[in-house]
Structure 1
Amino acid sequence: MCGPVLIIPLCLPAQVDAAPMDVGGTIDLAHLAEQVEILRDPSRRLDLDAVLQLPPQAWQGYHDRILRFGYSDAAWWVRLNLRNGGATPRHLILQVGEPQLDEVDVYQVRGTQTVARFQAGDQRPFGDRPLHSRAVAVPLALEAGESSLILIRLESADGVYDAAALGLWDSGTFEKKQKQETWLWGAYYGALMALLAYNLLLFAATRDRNFLYYCLYLGAFGLWSFGFLSGFGFAWLWPDQPSWNNAFDVLIPGLMQIPGTLFVVYYLQTRQRSPRLHRLLIALTLLVQIPSLLLLVQTTGAPQLHAQMHLLTSTFIVLHSALTLLYLVAGIVVLRKGFRPAIYFVLAWSFLIVGGLIINLLRLPGVLPVNWFTTHSVVVGSTFEFLLMALALAARMKQLETDKRVAQASEQALQRDYAQTLQQQVAERTGTLNQSLDRLSAALDAERIAKDEQRTFLDTIAHELRTPLTVIDTIAQNLLLDAGDGDTATLDRYAKILQASQRLSGLLDHQLGDDRRSLVRNQIRRVRCDPAVLLQDAATAAALWADRHQIRVCSDDLPEVVFCDPDLTRLALRNLADNAVKYTPSGTRIILLGGRGGSGGVWFEVADQGPPLPAEEVEQLFNRQFRGSNADGTPGKGLGLALARRMIEDQGGSLNLTTHSCAGLCFRIWLPGPDAGDAVGAP
């Protein structure tokens, strides 16, 4: 059963049985719509038989140059009577609308018989078309004296009807017209490709992201125009995939706004110049993608969204238009803030917006006149936009070059000021450095003089000490010889005097000799030494001061060789052993021992059974000129432990007090292995 038929007057009152149009002569009618009648089918369910049964009063006369149904959820029927009044058959071509029409059905009825039926549109395979034409074109054959009724059914899936011209030509005129249109479109796309290549070269040369984003926008616009606006994509690239037209119709325009917005925000620098407008541009760009994606899902056959088709289309158009207008507003705002290159940007987007506005208003009956400019407003507007945008990019490059020259001039001025300041600072610091070098040279000279004086002093001391030591040594030997078989205590005292004088003489000969002078040398000499010999030497030296002390040496765990400075190590061990004898009660035990340490090192310990130290004295024990409370009456200057630690630390080792309990004191020396420094051969 057919649905209701709603008649809406568009131009003139209804006409009944319009006279047929004679096509017997030369035919070149580009605006055949002035001769047709129309019928609105809100249910979209009327078929050919139902339409043929309608009374003549159901049809409405139409006197506009093109078919303009605007935004409508109905299907539309168009009726045209043709008559061949000539003496020969006529073969004509009827062209219906533009490539964007979704569904177009054309019927040729002669009397009560349908002699031809054609189905076309961008929602049907391109191969179903009787003629290879971007717009729907069908052949019509009329014998001499024959009349035919032409019925055309138009339906839009999204309720948007683009303005559709209705033309009738003979085959020769039609072919000529097709070639002219193809040539014009070729010139348009050639200019677009040249502009795209030019901007790509500029991007490759400058690495300016504005050129890249503009190239992406140009490419997306060209792809949309080629695939949808002109219909070449459907005709040449995907003729068997009509669903791809939906992607170019709804998805590409939405995605095209992404590089468009990126270009706008980077070209106008909206983040710095207008942060609030910048955020609005980004948000609206993302918002446009939602209805675009939903429309794509709907047009690919999601039934649950079919009822929302018109709402989504309207939402997409509103958001898309709002974003395009916002581009223009952003350009005006930035221009008013003093960014002069924005004037070309504003003009460019103005042309494109006007072109888009004209093509949308052209869909509405009687709003705008029909001419070449209005029907091609998008092409004209986009052409001017591309040319002006090229000027805008050139102006921006010029502005950047001007800014660069200003920055370079400022930088050169800063460099000159900096050079002058630097020269002054260099002169001042050079003077300061020369003064420091003079002071350093004077200090080095003073140090050399001090060392020379020190050597002279030590030579004098050594010379002056050797004479009395020789006397003491001679007297001690004579006393031992004269004592003969005297008492043991006397002989022991004479022996200690002799050993002490010999020890001091050995120290003078070894440390202050011409080939050593170890007290004034600057380098540590780590050589191979026998650690057991060093321990035994310290024990022997301490025995001179012993008062019935039990001195024991434990060297079984020591390695055969240790790398150290033997002179410094010997003095440090002697100092520790001497202190153990001097500050412990008579008859107590003193132990000297050693062993292997980590990483090839070695350790020595000197432990006694003397009284413990107060806690407050332990921290000061290694300070120079510090003497403990138990040192009363014992000769000394408080330098021994400080010097001993210095001798060990100069070799990379350590000297510490490890035990200070009631069981006595224990001092530990640790010396590193051979990897800590270069070792030379044994002395």
Structure 2
Amino acid sequence: MKILLALCLLFTALFPHAAPAAAAPAPLLLPASGQPVSASGHLQMLRDATGRLGPDAALAAPGWRTLPGAVSAGYTQDAVWLRLDVTRAAASPDEWVVRFSNAVLDDVRLYRWDAAGHWVLQEAGADVARGNWPIDARQVVFPLRLQADTPQRWLVRLHSKKAMSTELTLLPSDAFDNASRREYLYYGLQFGSYLLLILFHIFFWRMTREAHSGWYLLYVLTNATTEALTIAIPQQIFTMPNWLSDPMLGVSMAMSIAVGARFSTLQLELPALYPRFSRVVVGLTAAAALCGALLVLHGDYAAGVLVVQMTALPLIVLFIALASWLALRGHRPAHAFLFIFGIFYAGVVISFLRNMAIVPPNFWTNHAATLGAFVHMMLMSLRLNRRYAELRRAKDRAQAEAVSAVRALNERLEEQVALRTVALRQEIGRRAVLEGELRAALEVETRTREEQQDFVAMVSHEFHTPLAIINTTAQQIARNTDAPREKTLQRCQNLREASGRMTALVDEYLSADRMETSAATFRPLPCDLPALLTAVLAEWPPGRIEASVQALPASAVVDASLLRVALRNLLSNADRHAPQALAIRVQAGTLEDGRVQIAVSNEGEPLPADEIPRLFQKYFRGRIAQHKPGAGLGLYLVQRIAELHGGQVILASAGNNGTISFALRLPV
């Protein structure tokens, strides 16, 4: 936070508003006419970095410099001392007040010598309870009774965590009373207008739910709150303490730029033109506003407000530049934006430059933001009302055009219905003829399918029975040790391999034919999934497969026969392509979404990239598999079986890392 304040002071130093003058300023003469008099040009200023100087020490301290205008020291943690020499003309009123234009100064002290040569202290400011102020006003006002033709020297000590910019004005008491009444009338009219705007747009938004009106309502609320707290109206009315008003003002300013950024993008129609850019601008502004608000709530008011103001200035430049560019391209909302928002932005920039001590405080710079915001709100309200009226007219025109189009469409539809009715009657006649032909063709197809199913059953019986006999004989031979052991075991191994290969081949063909001919062959039933997987893995020689099974459901509703075919095909595919010296890895488990995954992996050459999209096509065999046994049905059958179960099979790894992996995923 200290760094931000230091940057502020450095920025102020780079743009000095005045050079110190060698000669002391002339004393301020209160005229006989009784007109208000500004102390600008008659002040000398001293910075008290420690904040511990008393009036005598400050008066004797070196470093006083003449101010050519009002006080404008930016954001500073120093206490600022002002020295003013005052003389009242004989014919002028004897009761005066000194008024400070900045309504949110924290600590203001006025020291004057009395007749005995002692300092008389008057004190006010946000840090002082309002009941202890000399005069109940929205800004600091000290009453004075002055002797004629008697020079007086005043010392004023200022300290505030907010912008140190203020103008001192001396007024006769009567003139101050009249000015106060006019001022409260002006502010009453201004905030009364704001209240009417807010009430109007509350009802307007509740009736229309129009986004622009809703954001404008927030826009007016945040800006009106900021203005009211800046001129200390709520602080005076509700005797609001400083520990409450300062956070409210800082947070209100932060909310103003966040809401203002969103409202500005809507007025330029940026969400429709550049949606991503619009979200980025609004998001960054909201983040800066949140940072500023948190700093204010943490107690670093000056740093938080600087973050908000340093965000607001680039944002103003961005929106003005973007609106100018869109206006040159003929974007109509940009023209209205430049006019309506330009007035408000000008007031904000002038107010900011005043806070940074680049321009001197006066009536126009003190009220630039307030006047600009008020004019801006009025024009913006008129624009929104006009926009809604245009939308209503466009909606009425669209409804009228829609009614006319519907009427014409109904007439065309009636004609088309009449023509279509005739055509349908003719089509019904033709379809009656086709129905007879289709019935005859269906009977032929039914007979053909029955004959095909009989043939499949016969083939299944004729092949499976010999294979079972071969398998049994191989087991008997293996148990018969009368023959030479090595030869008998070799023959047994050959018989088992041949029977297994023939069984797998028959299963492939039969499964393909079965799934192509009828969907009724899919018969899911409760099945012990771990037992099924264990049985399939047991068909392979010991050591050929490394299995890792984790948390499989004990029971799953699947077609066990089809799932067995799918698992065999995955393992056979891996066995054909994996080196014999390396094991095939099988990993089974449950995914986070509840599906079962069985992954089969093997070491092997990477799959060609051009063949990967065709791996699951029927009868497709890649270049690597051309010299190995197979019919090109394995992966196709796995995919069809997975689809029947509502699952999928994917190529998890194409071998670029040395491992080829297929994963079967099934819902259970």
TM-score (norm 2): 0.57
AA aligned opposite 2:283: A
The answer on 1:52 being equivalent to 2:48 is no
The answer on 1:424 being equivalent to 2:415 is yes
Contact 2:267 2:337 in 1 (8 A): no
Counterparts of 1:380 and 1:41, CA distance in 2: 34
The one of 366, 371, 387 equivalent to 2:378 is 387
The answer on 1:154 being equivalent to 2:161 is no
AA aligned opposite 2:349: L
Contact 1:325 1:353 in 2 (8 A): no
Q: Which residue is 1:36 aligned to?
A: 43
Q: Which residue is 1:91 aligned to?
A: 95
Counterparts of 1:246 and 1:400, CA distance in 2: 42
Contact 1:291 1:312 in 2 (8 A): yes
Contact 1:27 1:168 in 2 (8 A): no
The answer on 1:62 being equivalent to 2:64 is no
The answer on 1:107 being equivalent to 2:111 is yes
SS of residue matched to 2:142: strand
Contact 1:288 1:316 in 2 (8 A): yes
The one of 341, 344, 359 equivalent to 1:352 is 344
Q: Which residue is 2:230 aligned to?
A: 229
Q: Which has the higher contact order (CA 8 A, sep 6+)?
A: 2
SS of residue matched to 1:150: strand
AA aligned opposite 2:387: R
Contact 1:91 1:142 in 2 (8 A): yes
SS of residue matched to 2:41: helix
Q: Which residue is 1:674 aligned to?
A: none
Label 1:261 to 1:83 Cα distance change in 2 as closer, same or farther (>3 A).
closer
Any idea what the Cα deviations from partners look like across 1:191-231, whole Å, max 9, x if unmatched?
222222333333234321211110111112111211x2221
Contact 1:106 1:117 in 2 (8 A): yes
The answer on 1:374 being equivalent to 2:365 is yes
What are the within-5 Å matches in structure 2 for residues 556-571 of structure 1? Answer: none
Contact 1:341 1:396 in 2 (8 A): no
Q: Which residue is 2:194 aligned to?
A: 192
SS of residue matched to 2:391: helix
The one of 18, 29, 34 equivalent to 1:10 is 18
Q: Which residue is 1:574 aligned to?
A: none
Counterparts of 2:17 and 2:377, CA distance in 1: 41
Q: Which residue is 1:343 aligned to?
A: 335
Q: CA deviation at 1:376?
A: 2.0
Counterparts of 1:173 and 1:77, CA distance in 2: 27
Label 1:22 to 1:414 Cα distance change in 2 as closer, same or farther (>3 A).
closer
Counterparts of 1:362 and 1:194, CA distance in 2: 30
SS of residue matched to 1:28: coil
Counterparts of 2:102 and 2:124, CA distance in 1: 12
The answer on 1:79 being equivalent to 2:83 is yes
Please say which structure displays the higher CA radius of gyration.
Answer: 1
Counterparts of 2:381 and 2:267, CA distance in 1: 12
What are the within-5 Å matches in structure 2 for residues 527-566 of structure 1? Answer: none
Counterparts of 2:124 and 2:78, CA distance in 1: 18
Any idea what the Cα deviations from partners look like across 1:128-183, whole Å, max 9, x if unmatched?
2110111100112234564432111112215x323x12111221111011111111
Aligned residue pairs total: 426
SS of residue matched to 1:376: helix
Q: CA deviation at 1:288?
A: 2.1
Any idea what the Cα deviations from partners look like across 1:490-540, whole Å, max 9, x if unmatched?
xxxxxxxxxxxxxxxxxxxxxxxxxxxxxxxxxxxxxxxxxxxxxxxxxxx
SS of residue matched to 1:33: coil
Counterparts of 2:271 and 2:27, CA distance in 1: 65
Label 1:311 to 1:441 Cα distance change in 2 as closer, same or farther (>3 A).
closer
Counterparts of 1:151 and 1:409, CA distance in 2: 76
Contact 2:34 2:92 in 1 (8 A): no
SS of residue matched to 1:81: strand
Counterparts of 2:395 and 2:291, CA distance in 1: 43
Q: Which residue is 1:280 aligned to?
A: 280
Q: CA deviation at 1:99?
A: 0.4
Counterparts of 2:34 and 2:92, CA distance in 1: 14
What are the within-5 Å matches in structure 2 for residues 213-228 of structure 1? Answer: 213-226=215-228, 228=229
Q: Which residue is 1:139 aligned to?
A: 143
What are the within-5 Å matches in structure 2 for residues 264-663 of structure 1? Answer: 264-299=264-299, 311-332=303-324, 335=327, 338-363=330-355, 367=359, 372-401=363-392, 403-404=394-395, 407-408=398-399, 411-412=402-403, 414-415=405-406, 418-432=409-423, 434=425
- Percent of aligned pairs with the same amino acid: 23
Label 1:114 to 1:398 Cα distance change in 2 as closer, same or farther (>3 A).
same
The answer on 1:127 being equivalent to 2:131 is yes
Q: CA deviation at 1:114?
A: 3.6
Q: Which residue is 1:177 aligned to?
A: 179
Label 1:229 to 1:201 Cα distance change in 2 as closer, same or farther (>3 A).
same
Label 1:328 to 1:197 Cα distance change in 2 as closer, same or farther (>3 A).
farther
Label 1:83 to 1:265 Cα distance change in 2 as closer, same or farther (>3 A).
closer
Q: Which residue is 1:625 aligned to?
A: none
Label 1:435 to 1:33 Cα distance change in 2 as closer, same or farther (>3 A).
same
Runs of 5+ consecutive residues of structure 2 not aligned to the other structure: 1-12, 434-452, 458-668
Label 1:290 to 1:384 Cα distance change in 2 as closer, same or farther (>3 A).
same
Any idea what the Cα deviations from partners look like across 1:25-63, whole Å, max 9, x if unmatched?
343334122222221223333222321333xx6432223
Runs of 5+ consecutive residues of structure 1 not aligned to the other structure: 1-6, 300-305, 443-614, 620-683
Label 1:201 to 1:344 Cα distance change in 2 as closer, same or farther (>3 A).
farther
Counterparts of 2:281 and 2:394, CA distance in 1: 27
Any idea what the Cα deviations from partners look like across 1:527-556, whole Å, max 9, x if unmatched?
xxxxxxxxxxxxxxxxxxxxxxxxxxxxxx
Counterparts of 1:13 and 1:357, CA distance in 2: 29
Q: CA deviation at 1:389?
A: 1.1
Counterparts of 1:329 and 1:19, CA distance in 2: 46
SS of residue matched to 1:46: coil
Counterparts of 1:28 and 1:366, CA distance in 2: 29
Deviation larger for 327-336 or 270-279? 327-336
Label 1:23 to 1:391 Cα distance change in 2 as closer, same or farther (>3 A).
closer
TM-score (norm 1): 0.56
Counterparts of 1:221 and 1:297, CA distance in 2: 19
Any idea what the Cα deviations from partners look like across 1:629-677, whole Å, max 9, x if unmatched?
xxxxxxxxxxxxxxxxxxxxxxxxxxxxxxxxxxxxxxxxxxxxxxxxx
AA aligned opposite 2:222: A
SS of residue matched to 2:154: strand
Any idea what the Cα deviations from partners look like across 1:261-318, whole Å, max 9, x if unmatched?
343344433222112331222222222223322332233xxxxxx6xx6554433211
Any idea what the Cα deviations from partners look like across 1:579-636, whole Å, max 9, x if unmatched?
xxxxxxxxxxxxxxxxxxxxxxxxxxxxxxxxxxxx969x9xxxxxxxxxxxxxxxxx
Q: Which residue is 1:207 aligned to?
A: 209
Label 1:390 to 1:290 Cα distance change in 2 as closer, same or farther (>3 A).
closer
Q: CA deviation at 1:409?
A: 6.2
